[in-house]
Amino acid sequence: AWTGEIHGRVVCDVCGDSSIGPEDHILEGAEVAVLCITKSGEVLNYQAFTDAKGIYRVAETMPESDRWDACLARPISSFHEHCTHLGDGTSGIKFTYSRPSGYSHTIRPFVYRPANAPLYC
């Protein structure tokens, strides 16, 4: 059997400055959708939510011949009161899944920002 894992973080860029600073925080409970196409051409859809550290994970064990070939990760919702706007270029991340069995593919963070930056920014 072959095991694959995809993980990443969802963060709130409080000041909307596209850099992670001390004022920024992770988003717990944010939803991410992951779609993967297997080597055999099957399309698999996954739904993941971030934990208390802002990390989401998708994992699957399958036959080697049916393993993930390419995937697309998309942020669905931050489920946050203020941090609701997706940052630039984070509508989705496509990638070829080439990790060996038992390893994890890390996706760069999905970034949300508030509609209006706080005054202290």
Q: What is the pLDDT of residues 77-121, one digit of tens each?
A: 999 999 999 987 678 999 999 999 999 999 999 999 998 988 888
14: domain CATH number is 2.60.40.10
36: β partners? 44, 71
Counting the structural domains of the chain, the total is 1
Evaluate whether residue 119 is within a structural domain: no
Residue 98 placed within a domain = yes
> pTM of this prediction?
0.91
Q: What value does the mean pLDDT take over residues 45-69?
A: 97
51-64 b/e with 16+ CB inside 10 Å = b? Answer: eeebebbbebebee
Please check whether residue 121 lies inside any domain of the structure: no
Inside any domain, residue 63: yes
Q: Is residue 40 part of a domain?
A: yes
> How would residue 61 be classed by pLDDT, with cut points 50, 70 and 90?
very high
* Residues in CB range of 81: below 8 A, 6 or more apart: none
Owning domain of residue 23 = 2-114
Judge whether 120 lies within some domain: no
Confirm if 18 and 87 have CB atoms less than 8 A apart: yes
